[in-house]
Structure 1
Amino acid sequence: MKKKTTILDESAINRALTRIAHEILERNKGGDTIVLVGIKTRGVPLAKRLQAKIEQIEDITVPIGELDITLYRDDLQQKSTDPEILGTKIELDITNKTVILVDDVLFTGRTVRAAMDAVMDIGRPDQIQLAVLTDRGHRELPIRADYVGKNIPTSKEELIVVNVTEQDDLDEVSIYEIN
């Protein structure tokens, strides 16, 4: 893989997350009924950052959870015979709440579909919304994000790589050529 370009640096990621936090609060008329749920792996630190930004804006701490979709994937048989289970941590009742799934990249929509299935097995939220740092297009399922940090049109020969300090010691979104 060869790095083509950097799309978002640390400050651009921060601005995008600040905007998403404001949009979440505006659309939901505050944060009283929302629960942020990060999709493992990089959705979790992004959800934590959104939680901190919402706290700065509204002076409330919205609940947060972590979602492992491994067993809900439709390509589980193709990926591995022994999948790594990362564990789901949602320690509150999500019934009648607005669950906001948080992920780094929206691509085909299959990860989000799996996440929605996992959430519905945990409880029955009033609604599920989706916040992503980047949307690269190429959907295979009729899924769209409610909140997008940046739309990044790509070809199928390109890969979006999101690095977050919590996982990678660097905040950056880049495009790589797969060749």
Structure 2
Amino acid sequence: MSEKKILLDEAAINRALTRIAHEIIETNKGAMDMVLVGIETRGVPLAHRLAEKIKMIENVEVPVEELNITFYRDDLEKKFEQPVMEESKLNTIINGKSIVLVDDVIYTGRTVRAAMDALMDSGRPSHIKLACLIDRGHREVPIRPDFVGKNIPTSKKEIVRVHIAEIDGDNVVLLEMKEGK
């Protein structure tokens, strides 16, 4: 059994998302012409939560899209024996829109790079910003989030696990040590 440490509880996650929503609105000068795009899996419910907070603040409904980036990954053979290749189709036209990509954790940056490739295949947004609940460092590509809930310096021997109630049944961010490494 690995050692677990709680980094964010439900209240801290909620505060971080509220702050991120305010920062997104401030940077975008409002919520018009904005689309939130959640990177599957946990980025999707986080994007929906941000949309709810933005609506409470600005009284504007921001579209939320789901992005499956499996087709765009450069490490499929490392992650899956037989990867399921599903191409993402966005329901919202993103041409000229302000896009905010939403993910739970940014680590190497490769997931975000794949998400940007998928977005560019779907249209030509005016710009793309990145919102992440957790930034744990260790980038392999030059990508930096614009909006961060919490920066958590980690070692490569540690794992950051984000639990989201819609998927995992609870809201908590945990830090665990990898077993046997």
Q: Same fold (TM over 0.5)?
A: yes
Counterpart for residue 104 of structure 1 = 104
The within-5 A match list for 1:82-161 is 82-85=82-85, 88-161=88-161
Instruction: Provide structure 2 residue ranges, at least 5 long, that are not aligned to the other structure.
Output: none
Q: Is the contact made by 2:88 and 2:118 (CA closer than 8 Å) also made in structure 1?
A: no
Pick closer, same or farther for the CA change 1:86–1:161 going to 2, 3 Å: farther
Counterpart for residue 70 of structure 1 = 70
Q: Does 1:37 align with 2:60?
A: no
Pick closer, same or farther for the CA change 1:11–1:89 going to 2, 3 Å: farther
Q: Does 1:18 align with 2:18?
A: yes
Instruction: Provide structure 1 residue ranges, at least 5 long, that are not aligned to the other structure.
Output: none
Deviations 1:51-103 (A, max 9, x none): 00000000010011000000100011332342134663521110000110000
3-state SS in 2 of match to 1:2: coil
Q: Is the contact made by 1:17 and 1:50 (CA closer than 8 Å) also made in structure 2?
A: yes
Aligned-pair identity (%)? 59
Instruction: Give the Cα–Cα distance (whole angstroms) in 1 for the partners of residues 3 and 164 of structure 2.
Output: 17
* Stretch of structure 1 that moved more, 89-98 or 39-48: 89-98
Q: Is the contact made by 2:89 and 2:122 (CA closer than 8 Å) also made in structure 1?
A: no
Counterpart for residue 79 of structure 1 = 79
Q: Is the contact made by 1:109 and 1:141 (CA closer than 8 Å) also made in structure 2?
A: yes
Deviation at 1:124, TM superposition (A): 0.5
Instruction: Give the Cα–Cα distance (whole angstroms) in 1 for the partners of residues 129 and 164 of structure 2.
Output: 22
Paired positions, count? 179
3-state SS in 2 of match to 1:84: coil
Per the normalisation by structure 2, the TM-score is 0.95
Pick closer, same or farther for the CA change 1:71–1:54 going to 2, 3 Å: same
The within-5 A match list for 1:156-167 is 156-167=156-167
Instruction: Give the Cα–Cα distance (whole angstroms) in 2 for the partners of residues 79 and 102 of structure 1.
Output: 21
Deviations 1:101-159 (A, max 9, x none): 00000000000000000000000101010000000000000000000000000000000
Cα root mean square deviation, aligned: 1.2
Q: Which amino acid aligns with 2:114?
A: A
Q: Is the contact made by 1:64 and 1:90 (CA closer than 8 Å) also made in structure 2?
A: no
Instruction: Give the Cα–Cα distance (whole angstroms) in 1 for the partners of residues 47 and 176 of structure 2.
Output: 25
Q: Does 1:176 align with 2:166?
A: no
Q: Is the contact made by 1:65 and 1:89 (CA closer than 8 Å) also made in structure 2?
A: no
Q: Which amino acid aligns with 1:30?
A: G
Instruction: Give the Cα–Cα distance (whole angstroms) in 1 for the partners of residues 17 and 87 of structure 2.
Output: 25
